[in-house]
Amino acid sequence: MSFKKIPVLRIGDFETDIPIVQGGMGVGISLAGLASAVANAGGIGVIATAGIGQFEPDWDTNSKEADKRALQKEIRKAKAKTDGIIGVNIMVALSDFDELVQCAVQEGANILFLGAGLPIRLPNTLPLDKLGEVATKFVPIVSSAKAAKLIFRSWVKRYCHVPDAVVVEGPLAGGHLGFKREHIDNPDYSLEKILPEVIAAIRPYEEQFNKSIPVIAAGGIYTGADIHKFMQLGALGVQMGTRFVATYECDASPEFKQAYLDCKKEDIVIIDSPVGLPGRAIRDEFLERVSSGVKETFKCPWKCLKSCDFKSVPYCIGRALTNAKEGNMEEGFAFAGANTYRVDKIVSVKELIETLIEEYDRSNAVVDASKKAGMNI
């Protein structure tokens, strides 16, 4: 066949076989197991740091150290399992953002994905006057062109350097969303709308710094045809979360994955997370209970999220998500993307990626054929 195959994705010196980034999924959903499988399949595998230390014995008494130690272990484990590209997802909202960034760079993570807040500053422990020489690449996650501009302007001013790529996450994503509740269903904030805006905002910086800054689309991307669609709109890659939860290699419990298999469209809801952002999740008894006003009793050994007012929030989101990750769905809930109801089986990462590539190639062939026939698709 003559049509072009799925393209590679280049971020700095790193080049993938396929333009797919596995979205970082916190509280133990994406650890070394999932990340290394995705990297072995030719994509970018991402270890998420939110709550990563909760599985260490001293989490309650020594949380920051527990987080760093757990991250170090997961990066080493992933690197032992793959020669592919391993990223780390670090939420700017985490109280130990600086320590985790420093740790990931020291451990040789290839790419850092920085979301849930604007990474307008990097920790002072990095060589901020020569960021270009750091082997690790930096990729902010944004939900608007305005946020992208703020970050780029700040980096130019502070560091004379700009990020190596950008993820644009639209309102159909799972987990915390970078949108006001009332904007989530507004077409003006759809991924189709914000992706070209972010690309346009980044373009002048590509010229100024003479480097390619790929924009990666995320949120609701489910099939290879979706990947093709967003790449036609200018994305050079995609980030996907939900599809990777429904894999054998995903680090979540079977019960968590079963919640993905069992849910229906009407079960996917927007919640007001205790951290002050909306989030997308699967409705369950726990969420019914806390949304009816029942306040869970919990102890907070430390404030893991900068913005969490732990004395007044109705429940600890870190604990609830960890319970679900470990299979205790009665005491927690699962974050999930808008398309989760379409998940009907658990597959291997390899199988998933092969299917996505086949679907991508089919869409590409249709577009190629119609171009040849002079049609405008």
Ligand X SMILES: Cc1cc2nc3c(=O)[nH]c(=O)nc-3n(C[C@H](O)[C@H](O)[C@H](O)COP(=O)(O)O)c2cc1C
Question: What's the min distance (Å) between Cβ of 177 and ligand X?
Answer: 9
Contact with ligand X (CB under 6 A): which of 12, 219, 274, 332?
A: 219
The answer to the question of residue 74 lying near ligand X (CB under 6 A) is no
Q: Which of residues 319-358 bind ligand X (CB under 6 A)?
A: 335-337, 339
If the CB atoms of residues 126 and 321 are measured against ligand X, the closer one turns out to be 321
In the numeric block, which tokens belong to residue 271? 């919640």
Amino acid at 190: S
User: How far is residue 4's CA from residue 334's CA, in Å, rounded to a whole number?
Assistant: 38
CB atoms within 10 A of CB 297: 6
By the 8 A CB rule, do 290 and 260 touch?
A: no
The answer to the question of residue 93 lying near ligand X (CB under 6 A) is no
Q: What are phi and psi of 104, to 5 degrees?
A: -65, -40
Under rule CB under 6 A, how many of the chain's residues touch ligand X? Answer: 30
The answer to the question of residue 12 lying near ligand X (CB under 6 A) is no
Half-sphere exposure of 186 (CA within 13 A, CB side): 8
User: How far is residue 345's CA from residue 355's CA, in Å, rounded to a whole number?
Assistant: 13
Concatenate the DSSP letters of all residues of 88-131 into one string: EEEETTBTTHHHHHHHHHHTT-SEEEEESS------TTS-GGGG
Contact with ligand X (CB under 6 A): which of 221, 231, 246, 343?
A: 221
Please report where in the chains the tokens 């003479």 appear, as a residue: 210
In the numeric block, which tokens belong to residue 144? 């608007």
The answer to the question of residue 191 lying near ligand X (CB under 6 A) is no
Q: Which of residues 162-181 bind ligand X (CB under 6 A)?
A: 169, 172-175
If the CB atoms of residues 342 and 374 are measured against ligand X, the closer one turns out to be 342
Contact with ligand X (CB under 6 A): which of 85, 109, 141, 305?
A: 141
Report the C-alpha dihedral over residues 97, 100, 104, 107, rounded to 10 degrees.
160
If the CB atoms of residues 192 and 370 are measured against ligand X, the closer one turns out to be 192
Half-sphere exposure of 272 (CA within 13 A, CB side): 10
**Which range binds ligand X by CB under 6 A, 238-246, 292-300, 305-313, 363-371?**
238-246
Contact with ligand X (CB under 6 A): which of 11, 18, 19, 24?
A: 24
If the CB atoms of residues 38 and 141 are measured against ligand X, the closer one turns out to be 141
Q: Which of residues 109-128 bind ligand X (CB under 6 A)?
A: 115-116
Containing H/E element for 194?
Answer: helix 191-209
Tell me which residues touch ligand X (CB under 6 A): 23-26, 29, 48, 50, 89, 91, 115-116, 141, 169, 172-175, 218-221, 239-242, 245, 335-337, 339
